[in-house]
Amino acid sequence: FMIKKIYIAGPLFNRHEQMYLEEIAKELEGNGYDCFLPHRDAAIGIEESELKGTDMSQETKDTIFNNDLNALDAADLTVALLTGQDIDSGTSAEIGHTFAKEKPVIAINANERRYRNLFVEGMLTVTVNNIDQLIPEIKKLN
């Protein structure tokens, strides 16, 4: 089992979260992994005007969902950012889907210490505190 493709899951509610996810992608891609970052990659091929505001068409929503799902299915591993008051609902769904496919999930908590949902926590292969701990953990899985 060789890890090549990595799906990066996490909340996207503000620029800080997006930038942290982009830093995760930069670290992984810099080490030769092929990464899917939803806010960067799910909307490829969709007109920019379709992505603005809250009146996104059902066709665009379906395309983004299918792009995310296909990327999750193609990935060998999910890295999930678990910051915020609770684990983001979308991130939880991505963790659950990965777990159901019997693939590993590495969680990164960015040194936040919070009570986590124990059911979601049970689906995590390992939790790390920082981005620099990801590559050593991935190498343990290969």
- Dist CA 102 CA 116 (whole Å): 21
Average pLDDT for 20-40: 95
What is the average pLDDT score of the chain?
90
As beta bridge partners, residue 127 has 107
Residue 53 confidence class, pLDDT cut points 50, 70, 90: low
Cα separation, 103 vs 85, whole angstroms: 26
**Averaged pLDDT, 77-94:** 91
76-85 mean pLDDT: 92
Q: What is the DSSP letter of 132?
A: G
pLDDT band at 54 (very low <50, low <70, confident <90, very high): low
The pLDDT score that the predictor gives to residue 29 is 98
pTM: predicted TM-score of the whole model, two decimal places:
0.91
**pLDDT reading at 51 higher than 70:** no
Model confidence band, residue 83 (pLDDT cutoffs 50, 70, 90): confident
Q: Cα(21)–Cα(95) distance, rounded to whole angstroms?
A: 15
Q: Given pLDDT bands bounded at 50, 70 and 90, which one contains residue 138? A: very high
90-100 average pLDDT score: 96
Spell out the residues 6+ positions from residue 111 whose beta carbon is closer than 8 angstroms to its own.
Answer: 129, 130
Which amino acid, 9? A
pLDDT computed for residue 76 by the predictor: 98
In this structure, the number of other CB atoms found within 10 A of the CB of residue 78 comes to 27
Q: Say if residue 52's pLDDT is above 80.
A: no
Nearest Cα to Cα of residue 111 among 81, 140, 137? 81
